[in-house]
Structures are given as C-alpha cells and as structure tokens.
Structure 1
Amino acid sequence: MRTKHRTPRDGSGGRWTYAAAGAAVGLSAWVGGRAAAPSDAWYASLDKPAWQPPARVFPAVWTPLYASIAWSAGHAVNRARGGERRALVAGFGTNLALNAAWTWLFFARRSPAAGVWGALLLDASNLRLIRRVARSDRKAAAVLAPYAGWCAFATALSASLTRRNR
C-alpha cells in the first residue's frame, strides 16, 4: 500500500532529514575510506581476475551510489511515521555500518575471505532494506537497486580474489 507524501510538521519540508541522511552516508564513506588502500603493496600483489575494473572506476561508481543512498534514505524516512520511520532509520544505519565495515575487513585486515563474509552480510542487509523501503516508498526502493547490484558485484569480486589468493 502506497502512502501519500507527508511534509514534516516542523515546516522544514524534510530538509533536515535529507541533511541527516547525507551526513550519515558521508560518515560511512569516510570511515570506510580510512581503511581502503587499493594502491598499497599488499593489494597490488593480489592476483586479480581480468574482469576487475581499473582502480579509477571505484570512486566514479561509489560517488553516485552514495548520493542515491542518501536521497533514498531522506525520501523514505520523510514519508514514514512512527515505528516504520524508526525501523527505516535503523535499517539504513545498519546498512551503512556494514558498508563501512567491508573495507575494514578486506583492506585493514588484508583478508579477502573476511571481505566475502562482510559483503554477504551487506548483500543481505541491502535486500532487507529494499524490501522495507518498498513497503512505503517504491521509488526510494528502486533507487537502491543499483547500489545492491554493485555490492553483489563486489561480493563476486571478493570471492574471486579469495579463491585466486589462497
């Protein structure tokens, strides 16, 4: 069942919700980025599959994906109320924490295998989040689809790196 768009009662038009979502996404990207070092000697030494994109592709893809997560969160949370709103905030928060954790598992621990486990948890979180968002805001859920697809690709890439570098 679709709900009608409701403007927050404070008259802000939801600006604060979008700002908070953007800040949360930015924090997640920053925390994850502290661990990512694709140019370090360890990562450079890994045997990579031919289908791995060049390093310059990753920031070019992640920037619009992070923007889409922030927009989706702001849009969905603005439309939700009560327990549904709290569940969405918790779902996005959990997802962003898992997103940031992946780079720590893979790069900081220097463990493609740990990265696979983190990626699988993130994939499960993505599916759950999309289902939850779709209950009240199908447009915001659809915007998350490319993010989920890229994360699934990252899971496959992590699994390939694990197999190739045992």
Structure 2
Amino acid sequence: MITRRIINICAIRKIYFKNEIQKQQKINQINLQQINQLIIQQLFSKHKVKSQIFTKMMQDFTNQLDIQGGLPWTKKNENIEKHPVQTIQEMRLYGQEEAKMKTYSNLYGSQFPMLLTIERNILAQPSRLPGEKQSLLGLDIMMNRLNQIEFEDFLGTDNPEMHKLNAHERFLKSFD
C-alpha cells in the first residue's frame, strides 16, 4: 500500500516536472523570439518603411537569427564543410567519453562522473596569460591522451602562430 503511494507520488512528480520543463521551454522560446524582434527593430529603426515586404523580411531574418551564435553571416567557417573523417573522429571522442561516464556511474555511483567532470573543468581553465598557447598538460594526463599521437603532432596545426608582437603587447591587446 505504501509502496503504491510512493510510486504514484513519483509518477505525479515526474509528470509535474515534465510539464514545468515544457512550460519553461515555451517561455524561453517566446523570450528568444521577443529578443529577436527587439534586435530587428533596433537594426532597422532608421528605416521607417512600413510594407509587407519589410515585415516579411523581418520575420525571415528573425527566424534565422541565433542569439548565441550571433548574426548568421558572422559565423566563422560555417560554409566550409568538415572532412567526414574529422567528423567521425570528433563524434568518436564524445561517444567514448559518454560510454566511460556511464560505466563509471554504474560501477561507482553517479557522484564519480560528476567528480571527474569537475576535475576536468578545473584543469581546463587557462593558466597562462592571454595570447599565450595553453598546454593543458594536466588535462591530457587525466584524460589519458598523453600517449596518443594525433595528426597535429607531426603535421602541425592549420593556423601556425606567427607572433609579431612581444608578450607585453599581446597581453595589452587581449584587453581591447
């Protein structure tokens, strides 16, 4: 009798929280649309054109606008397609990490993956001045990536760093 009540209470809570999450998502979506409309109005406030074409253009632009990503034409390398092997390698890393965390959670409890995530976040924080390349050696050791040889190790990176400024000028430039 008591277990049935507990199960019913848990089911009711689950439904309640699911509904609350859906409400919050709708509110966030509405807020995002309102923010997009305000941005559009500010962008085109100089032009007092009231026409159907203009409103249609505003609606289309609002649908394309992504607040976190910025304006659609300012995203770097958006039109450049990634090589399929690069996509597979990136997804493989995410899949492996997710599988490890699930295994750790099943073996040691849910606190262990959270502890690992916190430690990784601490090790991933920048430890050098802005403008200097980060080594992230501690993170590589923790994630056991130190003994892996990747293509950047022998081919170099896409963007070789050519510093024309000294360290002090790079530091000052980071505040601009």
Do they superpose with TM above 0.5?
A: no
RCO comparison, higher one (Cα < 8 Å, 6+)? 1
TM range, smaller chain: 0.3 to 0.5
Q: Comparing both structures, which one devotes a greater share of its residues to helix?
A: 1
Q: TM-score, length-normalised on structure 2?
A: 0.31
Structure showing greater Rg:
2
